[in-house]
Structure 1
Amino acid sequence: MPDIFMLFVPLPFVVAVLLVVLLIQMIRRNDGSVTNPFFLALISVYALQSVVIGVRWGYNMLEILPLQAVLAVIIATLAWLSFEGLRTERPPTKRPLLLLHVLPTLLIIGLIAFWPAPISLTIIVIFAGYGIALCRLAWRGPDALGSSRLDGVISAYRALQITAFAIASSAIIDVVISWDFAESGGTHSGRIVAIGNVLAMLVLGAAATVAGTSRPEERIDTSAEEGALPVAPSGEDTDIATALDSLMQSRELYRDVDLNLNRLARKMGLSARQVSTAVNRVKAMSVSQYVNDFRVKEACRLLADTELSVTNVMFDAGFQTKSNFNREFLRVTGLSPKAWRANALARDNSGGTVIRLAG
């Protein structure tokens, strides 16, 4: 019986293909224009790293280890630059100290060339540093992502939380791998790397979510994002919240699908932190929830008073994705848009009162 040749395809190669598909979808969704290119770069490097991991552990090619180390540091750097870019609207070329983030990669390349001994420890320190920075950003709550569209900031915040956990965990995984090589010559490292690769898939899914994919999320309590206990609103907070209410009603800013916290703060001549704090304390919700409340109320008016399709209502009210629209509509009214319209029309035809918004 002739031998049957079977090509061994490591799982990381499959992961790399999936990541390339995600990358293509992101580019198409943005029509070739991307406001935060670091997310595209992050997924691209993850795809390349998956190939490298497949070659290393699938075919036992030790020569590729230096490239794996360099790519690992680039991933940690890009993860921070991607989410830090959602905090500010400044373009990459105008962000301060941007070039300093090249130093970790240059350091690893230098160690590979001249002093390989401390490479593992250096990578652990780099991952720990970026992991801590991401955790600090996540600790500030969703309003910290001031340049993220308010329609999708909750998804972006979830992505940030997952990424912060993944990068910080990578430092721990590297420690475990180093210990495994010291104790057993790397007997269990293959399994450890496999688990790490699954974790990378989660991070990439989160990055894709930030780029435009939304999914239902539960409400986030931001009342304690700056401390353990809610803080009573000051007179200034109340004044800001009142002025913001007036601005939202008179200029209908909620209709802007690209509205974000930074843009809202500029229109008021205040800092993003002042606006966020006032809304958190006075309204007991995040800025995204506050704006989406106005959008849902407008959607309810359109559903009751016009014959526009639900999709057109969604866009006219300021939402950009169905998932966010349905999630926020359910949060505010307790019903889906179609069910709300049906009930509103039934009440109207029977001479009753149109359903009031929940809360």
Structure 2
Amino acid sequence: MIFIPLPFVLTILLAIILVQLLRNREAGSRSDMLFIALIGTYMLQSVLLGLRWGYDIFAVLPVQIMLAAMIAGLSYLSFRSLTVQNSADVLRANKIWPHLLPVFVVFGLLLLRRDLAALAIIVIFLGYGLALLRLSSAGPDVLIAARLDGVLRSYRAMQITGAMLIGSVIVDILINFDFLWNSGRYSPSIILVTNILSLLVLGAAAGVALNNRTNADEDERDEGRPLVIVAETTLNTEQHGAIVAELDALMQDKQLYKDMELNLKRIAHRLRRPPRHVSEAVNRCRGISVSVYVNNFRVEEACRLLRETDEPVTQITFASGFLTKSNFNREFLRVTGMSPKAFRSQMGTSDVRDNAQ
């Protein structure tokens, strides 16, 4: 019987996730390469984990440590790419090289002071974990390049990634105590289990963020119009109200909410405003995030279609601007307190085709 270490099975699962995501994406931004590289690094780390614990190949340990340092910085850069106006900026050398420094530091320690390499990994993971949580403290609207239909999932993925990086630090501390109290008796099991779980969770989180990223940047879709954006300054209540009024007009007259790839960056581009101004205006004048604001229009349109047509729920999902039925059902329940089918039934409109779904 052929022995297949569990980490190899995890590698296959991560590969399936990546292939499915790539198949579902018609055209992506160049910064998608960060998430793709991140998932690929998780896969490679999983393979090394299988070689180390499945076949006792200790020679892979230094490479594992190097990859760990790389994963932390790559995780931050990947989610950071969802927060910037021009995603391509994240790929510039002057933005990437500072995040390569920890990898070189770890490499140097492996050559000169191997005993300090583990401590360096703890510091790196803690630093990047806190950086991701700090980034998430601004709320879901910080992810301006994520589709509004799935921005909450991407936001949770970012929080989970930050928490997992910090959790790895806690695990390392527990391992040190195990060596102190039990001569490392439980450390192999702790390392194997936590690494498998963390790679699976982190891979899924990266997959969610990549899947919820828009397929193309707004400036690439804008028919060559020059981009002129108002400078980022502090606005007063009247100015915020003017932005929301303009945004209301876009939603009602142009039905901008029907764009399934809509994100905060595209809305800001249409308004010729910085994304931060749009987010602040909606939060201040409506008391909600931009994603909730847009999804309210989508649910309102879905309610109209459910009342006035006999179209199947699935078709109404797409027609109202939602890309997935799960997000549609969740938002519809949030706004109306009932499912789409229950709403249609209550309105006295029946559709035999819905019963077949």
TM-score (norm 2): 0.83
Q: Tell me which moved more, 95-104 or 142-151.
A: 95-104
Alpha-carbon shift at residue 315 of structure 1 (Å): 1.7
State the Cα deviation string for residues 190-217 of structure 1 (Å, max 9, x = none): 1221123213312222222223379xxx
Q: 2:308 matched to which residue of 1?
A: 305
Aligned to 2:277: 274
Alignment partner, residue 126 of structure 1:
124
Cα distance, 1:30 vs. partner? 1.3
1:333 equivalent in structure 2: 336
Question: What's 2:15 paired with?
Answer: 20
Equivalent position of 1:220 in the other structure? none
Higher relative contact order structure (alpha carbons within 8 Å, sequence separation ≥ 6): 2
1:253-283 CA-to-partner distances (Å, cap 9, x unmatched) read 1111111112212222222122112212221
Corresponding residue for residue 195 of structure 1: 194
Rounded Cα–Cα distance in structure 1 between residues aligned with 2:186 and 2:27: 43
Asked if 1:83 is matched to 2:86, the reply is no
In structure 1, distance between residues paired with 2:93 and 2:24: 26
For 1:161-200, list aligned pairs within 5 A. Answer: 161-181=159-179, 184-193=182-191, 194-200=193-199
1:256 corresponds in structure 2 to 259
1:221-260 Cα distance to aligned partner (Å, 9 max, x none) = xxxxxxxxxxxx9333333322321222122111111111
1:45 and 2:41 are equivalent in the alignment: yes
Q: Deviations over 1:145-168 (max 9, x none)?
A: 111110110110111111110011
Contact 1:128-1:167 within 8 A present in 2 as well: yes
TM-score normalised by L of structure 1: 0.83
CA distance in 1, matches of 2:29, 2:142: 21
Deviation at 1:32, TM superposition (A): 6.8
Match of 1:234 among 237, 258, 272: 237
- Equivalent in the alignment of 2:353: none
- Structure 1 residues 163 and 187 mapped into 2: Cα distance closer, same or farther (>3 Å)? same
Matched residue, 1:290: 293
> Which amino acid letter does the alignment assign opposite residue 209 of structure 1?
V
**For 1:340 and 1:170, how far apart are their aligned partners in 2?**
46
Asked if 1 retains the 8 angstrom alpha-carbon contact of 2:299 and 2:320, the reply is yes
The aligned residue for residue 224 of structure 1 is none
Corresponding residue of 1:150: 148
Q: Give the number of equivalent residue pairs.
A: 324
Which structure 2 residue ranges, 5 or more long, are not aligned?
Answer: 214-235, 351-357
Contact 2:313 2:340 in 1 (8 A): yes
Gaps of 5+ in 1: 1-5, 215-232, 348-359
Contact 1:27 1:33 in 2 (8 A): no
- C-alpha separation in 2, matches of 1:69 and 1:202: 19
Q: Name which of structure 1's ranges 297-306 and 258-267 shifts more when overlaid on structure 2.
A: 297-306
Secondary structure (helix, strand or coil) at the match of 1:97 reads helix
Which amino acid counterpart does residue 36 of structure 2 have in structure 1? L
- Is 1:62 matched up with 2:61? no
Deviation at 1:319, TM superposition (A): 1.1
Could you tell me how far 1:109 is from its partner in structure 2? 2.1
Among candidates 324, 327, 334, match of residue 324 of structure 1: 327
Determine helix, strand or coil for the equivalent of 2:100: helix
Displacement, 1:96? 5.0
Q: 1:107 aligns with which of 81, 105, 108?
A: 105
Q: Distance in 2 between matches of 1:74 and 1:110?
A: 14
2:8 aligned with 1:10, yes or no? Answer: no
Partner of 1:355: none
SS at match of 1:128: helix
What code does the residue aligned with 2:295 have?
N
